[in-house]
Structure formats: structure tokens, C-alpha cells
Structure 1
Amino acid sequence: MTDPFTLSMILIAVLALFGVSVGLAMFSGSLLYLIMKDAVLPRGFDPSIGPEQMLQGLFNGYTLLAIPLFILAADIMNIGSLADRLLRFCQALVGRFRGGLGHVNVVSSVIFSGMSGSAVADAVGMGKIVIGLMTRDGKYSPAYAAAITAATATVGPIIPPSIPMVLYALVSDQSVGYLFAAGMAPGLLMAFMMGLVNYLVARRRGFPVDDAVPASELPRVTKEAFPALMLPVILLGGIYGGVMTPTEAAAVAAAYALMISVILYRSVSFKAFWETLRAGSRSAGSIGVLIGGSITFNYVITREDVPDQLAMLLASLDLSPMGFLLAVNLLLLLLGCVIEGGAIILIVIPILIPSVQAMGIDLVHFGVVAVVNAMIGLITPPYGLLLFIVSNVTKEPVGKIIKEVWPFIIALFAALAVITFVPDFVLWFPRLIGYQG
């Protein structure tokens, strides 16, 4: 008789290849495993364990409530005029340099990432506006505008808040607040590296220098953007000041974005808000299915002792902690070419965590390494979700965008090397606010 675990893995792979949601595929494979085990060991397994594990994991995961709330906050900012005002502010800051709109793209992603926590929200919202500016009058090719937009959107889930960090906290039992803090310096490093690439490309291709915003206009532009700029301050100040949990901060972010969009800027109609709620519910629902399926599948993996077997295999290889991290980076980067980032965090990372602990690697540091790998996977072919999103915005073939995105991928690899092999660079800020790791 074929091994139930092998059959469940085959079923998951087949369903995923035929376009079934990864979450539903994992739940179906897990249920097949439990049914087959119940047939062999009727007293040891019960198929109802699958739904029970999923429901317990979802109901006990209070932190998971932050995900739909961060999605709602990002969507509200996209339908209101917040994104436009933030973009004008960024243009006033860095638009005057050669390749200025490319720098605006980078800076706007850094600022927007302090509000949304999602790479997709960054690319769809702020990215769509910046692409329009860059391609207007033929200043930049659509392929380059799309490539830099996709690349800079990867910063969104690294600088706090971060939906992938919340998912990692779920599977690793680490503090969301410390994970958010650990993402600050790496996110800024990634943004700096992409700004450097844009500067070098602008010099080589002779990109235009945009008209500088007069100094007299800067106070007005800053004043218009100030309420939006205060959102990350309120969000992170509340978390690290001990006033709010990350979940409460997500609720505050959504309420604040709605308040300033409706009352102060008067830029959101009831119809637009209703459509935002519907779209946000669909996005949150798809993430919920992925989480539920992963919780059930992780139970199966645990029953099969996969983490322990992997830990024994790695121990036999006698890898150093740095060697282990290098191997993990290669594994995650390869998986990122074909698997969505959230699935990597929820499926692969739980298998690796026992080995990470056995190696003495800090789990907060490892979380940042894992999430950065998952975000780079969003722009690596052939899957590259962000590549398809910006391709849809610009109507450029994905192949052309891939040619333009490689310099940014290389820059992100360089940033990943620093993040991986210099743990103190990642952990200095969490330690500053009380982390003992």
C-alpha cells in the first residue's frame, strides 16, 4: 500500500498545478492523509482532527486579526487621496535628482510600507500612480518603470507593519513587536540598495532630471501630506510605547486612514468604501484559507516527524550556523521562484524551526531572513507575483520586465547577504527596546 504521506503530497502538488488554492490543496491533502491513517489505525487517527486543528489554530490566533485590518488600512489609503499627497511629498524631496522619479518610487515605497504591510498593496496602490508619472511623456520605458515598482514593493512587508511577519509570528511563537522592530534596518538597507541601482542606471542611460519643486512650495506639500505621514508614527509609537498590541494598532491604522480620508481630505465616497470592504474581505478570506490549510498540514508534518528527521539530517551534515543559513537562503530563493511567499512561511518555515533552534540561531533574526527571501521570490521568475501585477498595470510583457528587474534582484541579494550574516545589524533595534535575544 502506498504511504499516506506520499499520496497526500502528490495530491497537494496536483491540485496546486491545476490552479486550486494552495490552502485548499493543503487541506485536501491533509484530509486524505488522515482518512488513510484512520483506515489503517482506526483508534489512532480521526479525520475530524483536520478541521479541529484548523479551527483551533484560527480561533486561538488573536494576532491574525491584524491581517484583515492592515489590508483594510492599505485599501482605504489607495482609494483616498493619501497616496497622491504622499507621492507629491516624495517628489518634492528627491524628484530633483537624475532619475528622480525612480528615487520617488523608492522613497514612496518606504513611506507607504510604514502603513500597509503588504507588497501587493504597495505595487497596486502607490506603484500604479508612480508608473503613470514615470511613463508620461516617454521619460522612462514602461518596462523599467514596472521593474523598479515591483522591486521597491518588496520593502513593504519588511519595514513595519508587516503581514508576513505576523504569519511568521504565528508559526514561530515569537513577538510580533520585536519582529516588526527587526525589519526596520533591513528594509532601509534594501531601499538604499535599490536607490543606488536606480542612480547607476540613470547615469548610464541618461534619464532626465525632473523639474525641482520650489523651496517655497515644500512647506505646503509637507502640510498636505502631514496627516498621512503621521500614520506610521502613531502605529509604531503605539506598539513600542506599550500602548497597543500589533492587532490593536492595525485597527487604529484602519480607523485613522478612514477618518482622515473621509473627514479631513473628503476623498472617499460611501460606494468606494463599500467596494473596498468587499475587496478587502476577499483578500483576507484568501489568506485565511491559506492559513487554515497550513495549520492542518503542519499537524500532518508533525505526526510524520518531518522536522525531527530534517534536524537529524542537518546534524549529520555538520553544518555551522552560517552554513545552515546559506543553505536555507538557497532553498528559500529556489522555492520563491515557484511558490507564493505566504505559503513558504506557513509550510516550509515550521519544518525548519526545530533545526534553527538546535543551531542556536536567533528566531527573530531568522524570521527577517525568511521574510526577505519570500519577498525576493515575489520578483523572481517564473512565478514572480509582483511581476504579473505590474505587467497588468503597464500592459508590458513579463519577459521585458524581467530583463529590467535583474539589477534590482542582484542588489536585493547583496542586502540579503548582510541581513543573513550580520545578525547584529538586524537585532540592534529590537535589543534597544528590550529584546533579550
Structure 2
Amino acid sequence: MTSAIWVLFGSFGFLMVVGVPIAFAIGISATLTFLLFMGFEQSIFIVAQQMASGLDSFTLLAIPFFILAGNIMNRGGIAMRLINLAKVLAGRLPGALAHCNVIANMMFGAISGSAVASAAAVGGVMAPLQKKEGYDPAFSAAVNIASCPTGLLIPPSATLIVYSLITGGTSIAALFVAGYVPGILMGLSVMIIAFFGARRRGYPVAPRPSFHEAWVSLRDAVLPLGLIVVIMGGIISGIFTATEASAIAVVYSLVLALVWYREISVRDLPRIIVDSAVTTSIVLLMVGASIGMSRAMAFAGIPEMISDALLGLSSNPLMILLAVNVALLVVGTFMDMTPALLIFTPIFLPVVTDLGMDPVHFGIVMAFNLCIGICTPPVGSALFIGCSVGETRIADVIRPLLPFFLALMALLLVVTYVPAISLFLPRLLLGYGS
């Protein structure tokens, strides 16, 4: 079976290096692995069958709907309204605009479900304002990059939906609720580092807003934030499922952007729908191909081999979890979030469940790891977008990013070793595990 590992990961790595799109690299490497055990036609048939059956899932309908809702929100003038509210909330702290960036990313990311969209929308507005106030562009970009993934933990999150599918039905409602505390702590940790960095650089405190300004900012942001209340309230109360909630999110965001704010028109909808369809097709093609790869790994016994190797490293569960975290952090530096989740969840989940780790807890830990990964070179999508909208170079951003990375990795260890941080709310609100 060692040959299967070499063929699967060797061919996958080679195809990635030569520039083959990742979904095709996954599917081709899975097919080559099956060729070790059966004929060409059978190998092609099994991979195609796994892709088709894996995508035939009601749960996956939530992904295109949430992507469409996020794109409507992105075009609907939501970012500026949330930024104005964030200014009111963070105005009296040193480096107020940096804290405003973090809070706006937390709110906008939770609504859009996309770290890249948050980095572009919020960072694009904040970067000129921060530059005008004398902020170092590299510091501003670092704050934006480090905080934009918070929305991938704070629900609704397509990442957690994909994790639920891979693990065979881990409760989406429990995963959503479990993401709140780690996601908020992630944002707060970035704010703490930004606080000390801003104070050291002497960045100003924003003027105190008047009562009228505060009221207008709150009033304008209530309806966008209401989307989270509607979705999570409906899921927690059992009124609708996460998949049904995604369709409601589309209707809600459409009414808000098209009718209430009138930031988009009917003529804009075809382009928004096409963009959403393109994004959805990319994600679902990776999902289907990765299910085929997961089947190839299971057929070759690769998860069991890696599990035995990890368990053979140490008998101490703390050390094994540390090794899993290190592996995921390394994976996150060269692989985007969705394919990493699809490929490595089937490998590591049996290991951690053997140690008694709850699947919901591990889902949050895995998402947290990969949130850090999208901020790191060489493949960090949030890093590239953040530097682009911040008009600075990656080389200049790395140094101010380091304190944020250290804080996030320290928090990752806390979230890993203290399950109650992730599981407290699901147990309280949903009765999870009781």
C-alpha cells in the first residue's frame, strides 16, 4: 500500500507544481491510484461514480444559495453600512480605524461567508481612510488580512457545510453554533495585537460620534445584521434546516439590496447570478473530485496507515493533537481551504475520534487551522487580496503579520485543548451530545 501513497500524493503534487487546476489534479491522482488495483475503464468509472453520487446531496444546495446571497450583499452597499457601525463601536480605542476594520470584517464575513469578499470589500474601503490618517499601509493590510477569515467561523459558513458532508452528517446546526465563540475570540485576538501595535505607532483615537451619528449607523446596519438573526434563529429553533435557510438568505438579501437600499437593479442580477454560478461550479467540482480521492484513499487503506503512524508517534493525546495541528498549518500554506478540508478530513478525523474528540469540535479546529492558512504565503488567497486592496507588497506585510500569526496560533491551541469553547453553545442551545 506504500505504492498507493506515492502514486496518490506524488502525482497530485506533480500536477499542482506544473499548474494543473486543483480539481483536475485531485481527480487525475485518484484515477491513477485506482489503476494500481484495477483496469483503466473500471478506474474511470469508479471516480466518475463517486463524483456524481457525492454531489447528489440535498445538503450541498446550501452552498450555491449562500454564495448567491453573499454576492448580492457584496454588491448591495452592505460593507459601508457595517463599517459605519464598526466606527461607532471601536472609535475610542487607539488605532480606531484598525479596530473598525476587524469588527467590520467579523460582521461582513458572517453575512457574506467569504474571507476574500471581506478582505476586498472592507479592506477596499478602509485602506484609503487609514492612509489618510497616517497609518502604515503594511500594518493596515496585515490587520485586514488577519481578521478577514473570522467570517468563515462565524456562521453561516459554507466551509462548515462542506465539513458536515464529508463527515457523513455531522450536525450543521451544531457546527454553526459552535463557530461563534472561536470566531469572536479570533477577532478579539487580532484586535488585541492591533491595539498594542497602534499604540506603539501613535495612531489616533477617532472623534466621539454624536448620538445622532451613532443612531444612524446602528439603524442602517440593523437590517443587514438581521440576516444572521433570521438564519440562526430559524435553524436553532428548528423552523427550517440549514439548506432551507440558505434559500431564505437569498430572498432576504435580494429584498434588502434591490428593494430597500436600491443599491442594485434588476439589470445587475444576471451578472451576479453568473458570478455565483461560476464560483459554485468551482467549489462543487472540487467537492466531487475530492470525494473520488477520498474513496481512493480508503480503498488503498491510506487513512489507516496515517492514523497508525500518528498514533505510533506518541501515546499522549495532547502530542498527537499538536502533530495534527502542525500538519494542517503546513497544508494550509500551500493549499486552499476547500480542497484541504476535503482531502484531509477523512485522514485525520478517524485519528482524533479514536482519541475521544467530538466531530463538531474537530470541525471547528480544522476550520480555524485553515483560516490561518489562507493568510499565509505562498497560496494564501486572503493575503493576495489584502495586499492588493491595501496597495502594498507581500514582502512588506509579512513582518507586521507575524504577531497576528503568533496570537492566532496560540488561540488555536486553546481552542484545540479546551473543547468547551466550541461545544458550550451547541450543548446549551441545541442540547447537543446530551
What is the TM-score when the length of structure 1 is the normalising length? 0.94
Structure 1 residues 196-238: Cα deviation after superposition (integer angstroms, max 9, x where no partner): 1111111100002222221232222222222112111111101
- Does residue 34 of structure 1 match 2:34? yes
**Cα RMSD for the two superposed structures:** 1.8
User: What's 1:415 paired with?
Assistant: 411
Q: 1:110–1:191: 8 Å Cα contact kept in structure 2?
A: yes
**What residue in structure 1 maps to residue 184 of structure 2?**
188
- Tell me what 1:48 maps to: 45
Q: Which residue of structure 2 lines up, in the alignment, with residue 156 of structure 1? A: 151
Q: Is structure 2 residue 342 aligned with structure 1 residue 346?
A: yes
Equivalent in 315, 324, 328 of residue 324 of structure 2: 328
2:165 pairs with 1:170? yes
2:28 counterpart letter in structure 1: S
Aligned to 2:73: 77
AA at the equivalent of 1:146: A
1:118-129 matches, cutoff 5 A: 118-129=114-125
Q: Is the Cα–Cα contact under 8 Å of residues 258 and 266 in structure 2 kept in the other structure? A: no
How many Å separate the matches in 2 of 1:362 and 1:334?
23
1:13 pairs with 2:38: no
Is the Cα contact below 8 Å between 2:258 and 2:264 reproduced in 1?
yes
CA distance in 2, matches of 1:390, 1:315: 39
Structure 2: distance between partners of 1:319 and 1:370: 22
Higher mean C-alpha displacement, 227-236 vs 392-401? 392-401
Measured in 1, the distance between the counterparts of 2:232 and 2:378 equals 35
Describe the SS at the equivalent of 2:44: coil
Amino acid at match of 2:272: T
Counting only pairs closer than 5 Å after superposition, residues 278-427 of structure 1 correspond to structure 2 as: 278-427=274-423
AA aligned opposite 1:350? P
Q: Per the alignment, do residues 4 and 114 of structure 1 end up closer, same or farther by CA in structure 2, a change over 3 Å counting?
A: closer
SS in 2 for 1:37: coil
2:4–2:300: 8 Å Cα contact kept in structure 1? no
Counterpart code for 2:166 = V
State the identity as a percent: 35
Alignment of 1:245 with 2:241, yes or no, is: yes
2:55 maps to a residue whose letter is: L
What SS does structure 1 have at the residue aligned with 2:334? coil
Q: CA deviation at 1:363?
A: 1.0
Counterpart of 2:54 in structure 1 is 57
In structure 2, distance between residues paired with 1:318 and 1:95 = 49
For 2:120 and 2:260, the matched residues in 1 are separated by: 24
Q: Would the alpha carbon gap of residues 3 and 98 (structure 1) be closer, same or farther in structure 2, given more than 3 Å must change?
A: closer
2:134 is aligned to 139
2:313–2:320 Cα contact (<8 Å) kept: no
Q: Is the contact between residue 96 and residue 213 of structure 1 (CA under 8 Å) also seen in structure 2?
A: no
What is the alpha-carbon distance in structure 1 between the residues aligned to residue 321 and residue 35 of structure 2? 37
Letter in 2 for 1:31: T
Equivalents in 2 of 1:138, 1:385: separation in Å?
Answer: 27
Cα pair distance change 1:4/1:47, threshold 3 Å: farther
Partner SS state of residue 238, structure 2: coil
Distance across 1 between alignment mates of 2:122 and 2:251: 20
Match of 1:99 in 2: 95
Give the equivalent residue in structure 2 for 1:260. Answer: 256
CA shift in 2, pair 1:273/1:177, >3 Å: same
The CA distance in 2 between the partners of 1:231 and 1:256, in whole Å, is 7
TM-superposed deviation, 1:375: 0.5
- Deviation readout 1:284-329 (Å, 9 max, x if unpaired): 1111111111001011000001112222223333433222211111
Does 1:430 find its partner at 2:426?
Answer: yes
Contact 2:31 2:43 in 1 (8 A): no
Structure 1 stretch 298-307 or stretch 384-393: which is displaced more?
384-393
> Are the counterparts in 1 of residues 144 and 386 from structure 2 also a CA contact under 8 Å?
yes
CA contact 1:78–1:126 (8 Å) conserved in 2: no
Q: TM-score normalised to the size of structure 2?
A: 0.95
The residue type paired with residue 298 of structure 1 is S
1:4 shift after superposition: 5.6
* In structure 2, distance between residues paired with 1:337 and 1:297: 21
3-state SS of paired residue (2:379): coil
Residue type of the alignment partner of 1:28:
I
Quote the offset at 1:409 in angstroms: 0.9
* CA drift at 1:62: 1.7
Q: Whole-Å Cα distance in 2 between the matches of residues 3 and 199 of structure 1?
A: 52
> Gapped runs of 5+ residues in structure 2?
none
